[in-house]
Chains A and B, each alone.
Chain A
Amino acid sequence: MKRTLSYVGERALLVLISIVVLFPIAWMFLTAFKQPRDAYSLSLNFEPTLQNFVTVFSAPWNLGSMVMNSVVVATVTVAIAVPCAALAAYSFSRFRVKGRKFLFFLILSTQFIPAVVIVLPFFLMFRQLDMLDTRLALIIVNLAIVTPFVIWMIKGFIDAIPTDSEEAAMIDGASRLRVIKDIVLPMAAPGIMTSSIFCFILTWNEFLFALILSRRDAVTLPVGLVSFRTERGDLWELMSAAGVMITVPIFIMALFIQKHFTRGMTAGAVK
């Protein structure tokens, strides 16, 4: 009896949390398909339209270039951060160097600094370099933000891999780099995949730096959303349509992560 009660309570709580979390997202999806006159209506009975998506991609909003900016910034950031982080994570995990723990702490500690504190220095620096409003500046900043996090994350995955297979490979005649390529990377692949997606999501959603460092050419999607707040009021249906454009890729990636998380690659290596 007691068990069923706690079971019911648990479920009820889960449902409640899900509603709280999912409601705004569901509302955004609905609004994206509404006509301007329905945007403020609470009724679910409206005539759906795709016009909002057409509007946001045409002048003056030109969401297309923002999508492009976001895709380029996030992809390049992942493409640079993940390989570097994987090598760093491997070193932190396997090499017993003096001061290793402190160095690792130092890298992690960059994550404790609130972004607002460093955004101004970054702004001044990029202005000096004449790099304001460029994708490259955003990529550099995102790398700085994301790499420590990804190192930490991948290290967790590599720590979980037993060293036995690596040692066997070294005896079999593989160099350290070969071991990483042939043994460690395939075994850590699910973890690295997961980390890449996290890294992508972080960059994709990054708002503050993009807001400060871009003006016209390098504006990314999250910043672009702000432009739907006009003197004529907030254009909720357009903002929602753009919101859907931001959210859908993340949803798809989250699904991927789930699939990878459930699959271990280390089974069968040792006794």
Chain B
Amino acid sequence: MAEVRLVDIEKKYGAFLAVPQQSLTIHDGEFLVLLGPSGCGKTTTMRMIAGLEDITSGDIMIKGERVNDKPPKDRDIAMVFQNYGLYPHMTVRQNIEYPLKLRGVDKATRKARVQETAAKVELDALLDRRPSELSGGQRQRVALARAIVRTPSIFLMDEPLSNLDAKLRVTMRAELKHLHHELGVTTVYVTHDQMEAMTLANRVAVMREGRIVQLDTPKKIYAEPADLFVAGFIGSPSMNLIDGVVKGGVFRADGVEIPVPLGDRDGVVLGIRPEEIDITQDAGAPISGKLYALELTGESTLVTLRNGPSSVCARGHADFEAEIDSPCYLAPKDEARIHLFDRASGERLG
């Protein structure tokens, strides 16, 4: 059990600023998800917590103790590496067993723990293979198993499920959720998968260019993105972001006229999620245009409408059918679910 505090930490690679000065507290027993585009510094942050990367300035505190100079082995951390970092000369069994061996766990317990953990990640049939004889997804599960075979103070997981097929990913996700519930170990978790972030996280930290731009519960991040970047990054398909102006209390863009509680101004972006839009037959609807594309996702159909530069996507019923290029009308379900941003600064308005 451990609280992790990053105090004004900064990381430079030579002159390149990978993570600019910032602070972050990960509560005891919390499941924190780091979310952000490729290259934004997620792995770097993890590696600093683990002690694999020197921090340029600032402090890292684990359980209230400053650990800047503590070697990784003394931080009681288990980590799943983004590129696995398996031991190629050892079998799967030896790979999973290694952390236990280093901690002097006796042979019988080790054997039982390895069996149990391998079963959790569905690797029990492959225990005697070497990593080079495994598929990418199987290797990733070895990396995962090696981390969860013991109970550390902190779990660091860098995209631990990225290489698994959809079905296995859901199973493993549930497994991890259960594990966290059972052990309550403080966990930092990197993912690109919205579903993973939403389902697993107590809090999500959205990162951009090394900076944490929003830190909140998944619900809050989804419902109230702090700025344009978070709005565009969270959600799949992503939020519709329409460029326009506000005049006389109405947001206007090509084919879009939506009343908003905002004074006159230029350079406004209106954001609305596809889930928050109804498809109607009403020619007087706030959003109108020509049907541009229909995509069946299984449980629903994504309807994309175009009018000039404006393009709006709505999530409709799976049975929805219409001709491409036919006129199409959309209406926001709930005025309260409309987001307004400043185009130039990206900040949330109103």
Using CB atoms and an 8 Å cutoff, list the residues of chain A in contact with chain B.
162, 164-165, 167-176, 178, 182-183, 186-187, 265-271
Contacts and interface: CB of A to CB of B under 8 A. Distances in A.
B84 A173 contact: no
Interface residues of B, number: 31
A158 B88 CA distance: 15
A266 B86 CA distance: 10
B85 A167 contact: yes
B88 A266 contact: yes
Given A170-B73, A171-B72, A269 B87 contact: yes
Determine which residue in A178, A183, A267, A268 has the highest number of CB atoms from chain B within 10 A of its CB, and name it. Answer: A268
Interface pairs A-B: 6 shortest CB-CB: A268-B132, A268-B131, A164-B85, A168-B85, A172-B99, A173-B102
A170 B71 contact: yes
Interface string B69-95: 001110001110111111111000000
Contacts of A266: 88
Contact of A183 (B73, B77, B87): B87
Contacts of A187: 88-89
B303 interface: no
A171 B88 contact: no
Contacts of B88: 165, 187, 265-269
Nearest to A174: B102
A171 B102 contact: no
Nearest to A185: B89
A117 to B, nearest CB: 41
8 contacts: A168-B87, A171-B72, A187-B88, A267-B132, A268-B86, A269-B86, A269-B87, A271-B136
Q: Which of B98, B103, B136 is most buried by chain A, counting CB atoms within 10 A of its CB?
A: B98
Interface string B7-45: 000000000000000000000000000000000000000
Which of A171, A183, A268 has the most chain B CB atoms inside 10 A of its CB?
A: A171
Given A167-B52, A266-B88, A172 B134 contact: no
B339 interface: no
Contact of A175 (B73, B87, B89): B73
A35 B84 CA distance: 65
Contacts of B315: none
B146 interface: yes
B234 interface: no
Given A171-B52, A173-B103, A270 B83 contact: yes
Pick from B81, B89, B136 the residue with the most CB of A within 10 Å. B89
A271 B88 CA distance: 12
B177 interface: no
A172 B146 CA distance: 9
A269 to B, nearest CB: 4
A90 B143 CA distance: 25
B81 to A, nearest CB: 6
Contacts of A271: 82-84, 136, 139, 163
B154 to A, nearest CB: 10
B130 interface: yes
A177 to B, nearest CB: 11
Nearest to A266: B88
Contacts of B79: 168, 171
Contacts of A268: 86, 88, 130-134, 139
A164 B50 CA distance: 13
Interface in B164-206: none
A153 to B, nearest CB: 21
Nearest to B52: A167
A60 B169 CA distance: 79
Nearest to B71: A170
Nearest to A186: B89
A172 B72 CA distance: 8
Interface in B123-138: 130-134, 136
Contacts of B73: 170-175
A168 B73 CA distance: 10
Contact of A168 (B86, B89, B132): B86
Given A271-B136, A271-B139, 6 more contacts: A164-B84, A165-B85, A168-B81, A172-B99, A176-B71, A269-B88
A39 B295 CA distance: 90
A182 to B, nearest CB: 8
Nearest to A178: B102
Nearest to A161: B88
Interface string B293-328: 000000000000000000000000000000000000
B89 A171 contact: no
Contacts of A265: 88-89
